Structure 1
Amino acid sequence: MTHEDVPDGWPVRITMTTTPTLLSRTAGLALIRDLGQRVLMREVPGLQSSAPYELPGGPAEAGESALDACRRHLADQTGRLVQPSALLLAHHIPLTGAETARHDFLFDCGQLQPDERWEPDAAGRWRWILLDDLRDLVEPVTEWRINLALDAVEGEPARYLTGVPDFPALSQA
């Protein structure tokens, strides 16, 4: 029956049923660096990869901003209260196949001062990684994002990225 088939004066009720589907995920990530050209990275337990480290932070909960998610995850993961400041980059990774689309926001969470110490925990989940060593320890997309974020720290404009470039296969030496 169409709308035109309903006699005048009859109430029209349209019922729609939908199945909720999570189509995207928002995350707040942190760039924390020291004076020794190192960035703080966290090990991902159980990751089946030769690149087991990623940026600190994590997904937002329903109704939570990426900035608040970054702050919350850093407190949960490190026990430290860190105040994210400038947005260094936003990265939209479109929906592909069964994967959920992602919106990652990378915030500047500061540089440690010479008198500050932030040692990796005893379990080894955290590690200061030299910028020159990133290629061996993180996914190519993570290295790319860190380098662009560092450009923003140095005064370049924040970037909006979409998609993931095809990174050349890394040669095995």
Structure 2
Amino acid sequence: MSPTPADPEAWDAYLAEGNAKQARKRVAADALLRDPAGRVLLVNPTYKPGWDLPGGMVELNEPPEVAVRRELREELGRDIDVLGLLVVDWVPPHGPWDDQIAFIFDGGTLDGDEDLQPHDEELSEARFFPLEKARELVGGRLRRRMDAAMRALQRNCPLYLRDGVVGW
């Protein structure tokens, strides 16, 4: 017989056992930031090849929307309000990595890039690019996610993706 909430100590132990057996997901939270000309902000990480959207990995028990604001503050030294969710993407296992959930939030429009200098050693550069150039600079998985984020922005409706594809 399973414990019930009537026995709080046994119930908590029962729930903890179930929690320990369930999958844990890596979670990433990025932001789509634009300038008044519609260019997209990309960052150049020092720890991996290629350009990326600003953002990063969610810490233990941290909400994704809080994580993206923290990452933007750490990486760019800017407090940026998140305007809404654009994309949730389930990314299947790849290489040495387990599956992951990747979020892209709408970071809105920034007035200019004059003071967008990296604020930590994880980035070598932060620059706005026209969308087509940004698409060339990011990898295929992120390109699909970024394209979906642009569609979600235009439609004012978040999208769920499965490995970058809508309509799985």
**TM-score with structure 1 length normalisation?**
0.72
Residue aligning to 1:24: 25
Partners in 1 of 2:156 and 2:79 — Cα distance?
27
Residue aligning to 1:136: 136
Partners in 2 of 1:156 and 1:20 — Cα distance?
38
Partners in 1 of 2:152 and 2:130 — Cα distance?
18
| Native 8 Å contact 1:24 1:95 kept in 2 | no
Q: What CA RMSD, in Å, does the superposition of the two structures yield over aligned residues? A: 2.5
**TM-score with structure 2 length normalisation?**
0.74
Amino acid at match of 2:79: L
| Native 8 Å contact 1:23 1:100 kept in 2 | no
| Native 8 Å contact 1:61 1:69 kept in 2 | yes
Residue aligning to 1:118: 113
Structure 1 runs of 4+ with >6 Å offset: 19-22
Q: Percent identity?
A: 29
CA deviation after TM superposition for structure 1 residue 23, in Å? 4.1
What aligned pairs does 1:19-168 form with structure 2 within 5 A after superposition? 23-48=24-49, 52-96=50-94, 98-112=96-110, 116-119=111-114, 120-121=116-117, 124-164=124-164
Which sections of structure 2, spanning at least 5 residues, go unmatched? Answer: 1-16
Residue aligning to 2:13: none
Render the CA deviation track for 1:79-119: whole Å, top value 9, x for unaligned: 1101112100101112346312111110001013xxx2223
Amino acid at match of 1:26: V
Amino acid at match of 2:135: R
More displaced 10-residue stretch of structure 1: 95-104 or 84-93: 95-104
Partners in 2 of 1:100 and 1:34 — Cα distance?
34
Greater C-alpha Rg: 1
Render the CA deviation track for 1:16-46: whole Å, top value 9, x for unaligned: 9xx9998421121100001223110110114
Partners in 2 of 1:150 and 1:164 — Cα distance?
13
Residue aligning to 2:9: none
Secondary structure of the 2:104 match is strand
